[in-house]
Structure 1
C-alpha cells in the first residue's frame, strides 16, 4: 500500500493537473464567480467594461481557488477520516501539504496583483479580506469552535457579488449589500442540510456542526426559520425598487421551492431529503441570481 502511495505523484501530467484543479473546488468557485459576475452586470445600466469583466472575474476566481486550496491544507487530517473527503489529493498522498500551500500562495498572489493593478485597489482589499475570512478565520478557528460557525463565517462566502459590483464601480452600493444579504441568509440552511446528511462524519472528527451539538430536529427547525427569513430577504430587491416584476416572480418561485423542502424536512425523516434540500439550495441561488440579471436587461430589450 505504501508503494502505491509513493507512485501516485509520478503519474501523468493530466492526473497531476487534475489533483491541483481538485484543490480549487471548481464547483464552489464557479458559483462564487457566477454571483460575482451578476454583481458586475447589476452595477451598471448597460454593458460592463470588458477589461474589468475579464480581470475582475479572473482575480476573484483565483482568490476563491486560493482559499479553497488553503482549506484543503488546513483540513487535510480530518479529510483523511471523513468518507466524502478521504479521496482528496492530500489524504491520498497525490500532493503534499507543501505543494498545496505553495499552489494556494501562487494563486493568491496572482489574484491580488491582478485585482490591484488591473481592476482597482478596493476590490483587491475586499477580496483579500474575504479570502482570509474563509481560509483562516472560518476553516482554522470558527469551524472547530462553535455550531454557529457557518453563520458567522458566511460573511466571507456572501462577499462575491459585492466584489463584482466594486470591481466595476469602485465603491460599495446599498444594492450590492442586498446581494450580500441574500447569500448570507442562504448559507446556513444550505450548509446545515449537508451537515445533517453528514452528521456522523462530522461527529467522528469532532467538528461541532449544529446537528452534532444540538441534534437533527433542532437543526431542521433552524433550516426552516432561516428559509422563511431567506424568502423575505429575497423580496428586498423588488421592495426597494432595485428589481422589477420579473425578478419578483423568480424570487417567489424559487423561494417557495426552498420553503417546500424545508417544510418537508420538518415533516419527514426520509434519509434522502437533506441532500435533496442541499442540491435544491444551489438551484435556488443560481435561479434567483439569474432572475436578477434577466430583470436588469430584459425590460430594456423589450421596451
Structure 2
C-alpha cells in the first residue's frame, strides 16, 4: 500500500503518462461505440449530415464515453485489483491516483458535453450526459454489485451511442433511433456473459454477482443462446419496417447464423466462451456496417 501511494503521488514518467490516461478511456470499446454513433448519424437522414455534426458529434460522444470509462476504472479499482484481467490497470498498480483519474474523467466528460451542446443540439448533450450517469453511476456503483441482471439493466447506457448519433443530426428521438438502441441492448447480455463465463472465478473472488457466479455456467449458456435467438429476430426489424433493404437483410441473416452457431457451440462447451465473446464484437461491427452499406448503396 505504501509503495502504491508513493507511485501515485510521484506519478509515472511524462513520456509514458499519456498511455496510462489513454488506457483509462478503454479505447477499443470507445472506438466501437464511436463507429455506432457515426452509423446512427448517417442513417438519420437520406442525405449526408453536415460535416461539423459528423466530426464534433462523434468527438463529443467519444469524449464523454472516455470520461465514463475512466470513472468506471475509479469505481472498480478495488475489485480490479483482485481480478487477473484488470489488476494491471493504472489504479490497481498505483501508478495513477484516484484524484488524478477523477479530474481526468471530469475534464473529458465536460469537454464532450460542451462540444455536443455547441455543435449538435442540447438534447444530444443531455442524453449523452445521462448515459454517463447510467454507466458510471447506476451500473458501476449500484447494479453491478447488487444483481445478476446487472448487465441486462445497465446495458441501456452502453446501447445509447447510435441513438445519440441519430439525435445529434435530427434533434429528436425517432423510431429508427430506438431500434438501433434495442439491437445493442439485446446484444449486450450474451456478449458480456460469454466473457463472464471465462472470468467467472475472478468475478467470484471479487464478489461480483455475475450470472455464471450466481446461477452457474450451464444456466448462463442457455441464457446466451436464448438472447442470441431474440437478437437475430430483432435484427430483421429494420428490413420489416422499411428502414433498410435486402443488402442489410442478407448481412443480418448471415451474421445471425454465425452468432447462433457460436452460441450453440458455447452451449455444448464452456471453453468456447472467448471465441463467442470475440465473435460478438465482430458481429456488431458487421451488422452496423451492413446497415451503412445498405443505406448508401440502395439510396
Q: Normalising by the residue count of structure 1, what TM-score does the alignment of the two structures yield?
A: 0.96
What does residue 275 of structure 2 align with? 276
Alignment of 1:109-188 (within 5 A): 109-188=110-189
Q: For the structure 1 residues 256 and 100, does the alpha-carbon distance in structure 2 shift closer, same or farther, using more than 3 Å as the test?
A: same
Alpha-carbon distance, 1:123 to partner: 0.1
Measure the CA separation in 2 of the matches of 1:258 and 1:124: 34
Q: Determine helix, strand or coil for the equivalent of 2:233.
A: helix
* Structure 1 residue aligned with 2:83: 82
The secondary structure found in structure 1 opposite 2:173 is coil
Partner of 1:98: 99
CA distance in 2: counterparts of 1:92 and 1:4, whole angstroms: 7
Q: Secondary structure at the match of 1:206?
A: coil
Q: Residues of 2 paired with 1:143 and 1:5: CA distance?
A: 27
Aligned residue number for residue 287 of structure 2 = 288
| Partner SS state of residue 103, structure 1 | helix
Q: Does 1:68 align with 2:102?
A: no
Task: Measure the CA separation in 1 of the matches of 2:142 and 2:166.
Answer: 29
Matches of 2:100 and 2:281, distance apart in 1: 31
Unaligned residue ranges in structure 2 (runs of 5+): none
Cα distance in 1 for residues equivalent to 2:58 and 2:3: 42
Q: Let me know the Cα RMSD of the aligned residues.
A: 1.4
Deviation of 1:299 after TM superposition, in Å, equals 2.0
Report if aligned partners of 1:262, 1:277 keep a CA contact under 8 Å in 2: yes
* Separation (CA, whole Å) in 2 of partners of 1:91 and 1:267: 36
When normalised by structure 2's length, the TM-score is: 0.97
Q: Give the Cα separation in 1 of the matches to 2:196 and 2:132.
A: 23
Q: Could you say what secondary structure the match of 2:144 adopts?
A: helix
What is the distance in 1 between the residues matched to 2:209 and 2:203? 7
1:25 aligns with 2:58: no
* Deviating more after overlay: 259-268 vs 180-189: 259-268
Shift of 1:14: 2.9
CA-to-aligned-CA distance 1:231-277 (integer Å, 9 cap, x gap):
000111011110000000100011111100111111224x2x10000
2:248·2:290 contact (CA, 8 Å) conserved in 1?
A: yes
Query: Using the alignment, how far apart are the partners of 1:244 and 1:226 within structure 2?
Result: 24
The 1-side partners of 2:146 and 2:4 are apart by 36
Contact 1:69–1:100, Cα closer than 8 Å, also in 2: yes
**How much has 1:7 moved relative to structure 2?**
5.2
Answer yes or no: is the 8 Å Cα contact 1:5–1:92 preserved in 2: no
